[in-house]
Amino acid sequence: MGNYRFILSGGGTGGHIYPAIAIANELKRRHPDAKFLFVGAKDRMEMEKVPQAGYEIEGLWITGLQRKLTLKNLMFPFKLISSLVKSGKIVSRFRPHAVVGTGGFASGPLLKVASGRGIPCVLQEQNSFAGITNKLLKDKVAKICVAYDGMEKFFPADKIVKTGNPVRGDLVDLQKDNQEAVDFFGLDRTKPILLILGGSLGARRINQLIEQKLDFFKAKGVQVIWQCGKLYFDEYKKYGSQDVKVFDFLNRMDFAYIAADMIISRAGAGSVSELCIVGKPVIFIPSPNVAEDHQTKNAEALVGQNAAILIKEKELDTEFDSVFSSLYESKEKQRALGLNIKKLAMPRATDHIVDEIERLLANGKQQTVSKNHQETTIKE
């Protein structure tokens, strides 16, 4: 059947948007004639990123609850009602065969409406600590695709499927020439290379750390590829040199990963999944400014398997020099961390998620055939 209709909903951050786009791309590859609609939150980044990926999107008037009493919180009931009404209209008009939610506030009303009408729904939870929207939807969906063990504390065990998180296709196979990657950045292959990742917007505390440690790295002979983010590029581009390459955004992440000997990164779910595939020694510096401190929990899940190093922001001033030096000076430690994190990689996550969606579609088709057969038998 080629005329399937799919709704995908998730957003607010790239961690919710890009998995949804990856799932849509794989569904489209398998079902070229299928129709797709994304549903997001008005004025959030998905309203820009999804059309750039070639898909139609509709926005709901929805935001999350703030932790303290604000005007936005007082408006929340009205936004929720508005979003439920609009979601009902979207589902009635588009008539999806399946709905996929990847987290974010917009997916809540949409999946609540769709599941209430008996439409097969799938959740994709990226983090080791489940988001509030997905936790609220857990009893209404058919399957929940996760990336970590132990998610039974958030979701019904019989609905959980461990698939991993979707990652960019160009990262699944990094068997490219190291020299080409190093030359791309104009660096010296004989010296170690440290890759700094703070996300597309940047991470203020990581940038402040790297600024303070440039002389420290230089003394050790370490070259730096520094993605400082577009919010901070004008402030830090002055540090660019023969041994320090400063970027607002890395257009060739594959080359950056190949060239790197060590990596410092935030611990968002997408970053963690990519770094598992890359298989290089990583120091995670999680953002403390995220819901439920989930980045720290993501990193701790790897640290517990000797697959990464974790330094909390509040410990950077006292711990960084000794932790980095210990890693830098031990090739054995670098090798062990790289091998262990690679063991956790799930490069075919998108395929496995779409497999689950197709199973639900097949089951729905079988139930329809069975129902029609029963009705025919009764008439006879």
CATH of the domain at 289: 3.40.50.2000
- Counted residue by residue, the chain has a size of 380
Q: What is the pLDDT of residue 371?
A: 44
* Shared-domain flag, residues 67 and 211: no
- CB proximity list for 190: less than 8 A, separation 6 or greater: none
Q: What is the pLDDT of residue 341?
A: 97
- The ranges of the chain with pLDDT < 50 are 368-380
* Shared-domain flag, residues 326 and 223: yes
Q: What is the largest CA-CA distance in the chain?
A: 88
Q: What is the pLDDT of residue 20?
A: 94
Q: How far apart are CA 328 and CA 16, in angstroms?
A: 34
* Shared-domain flag, residues 96 and 202: no
* Shared-domain flag, residues 259 and 111: no
* Shared-domain flag, residues 12 and 120: yes
* Shared-domain flag, residues 39 and 162: yes
How many helices and strands in the chain, by DSSP H and E? 14, 13
* Shared-domain flag, residues 18 and 145: yes
* Shared-domain flag, residues 257 and 152: no
* Shared-domain flag, residues 219 and 298: yes
CB 106 within 8 A of CB 62: yes
The angle at the Cα of 15, spanning 62 to 91, to the nearest 5 degrees, equals 45
- Tokens coding 358: 């197709």
The domain of 129 spans 5-167+348-379
* Shared-domain flag, residues 186 and 161: no
* Shared-domain flag, residues 276 and 225: yes
Total of domains in the chain: 2
Q: What is the pLDDT of residue 344?
A: 95
Global model pTM greater than 0.85 = no
Give the ranges where 53-171 is alpha helix by DSSP (H).
Answer: 71-94, 107-116, 132-137
Count of C-beta atoms within a 10 Å radius of residue 25? 18
* Shared-domain flag, residues 157 and 260: no
**pLDDT tens, position by position, 76-87:** 678 888 889 999
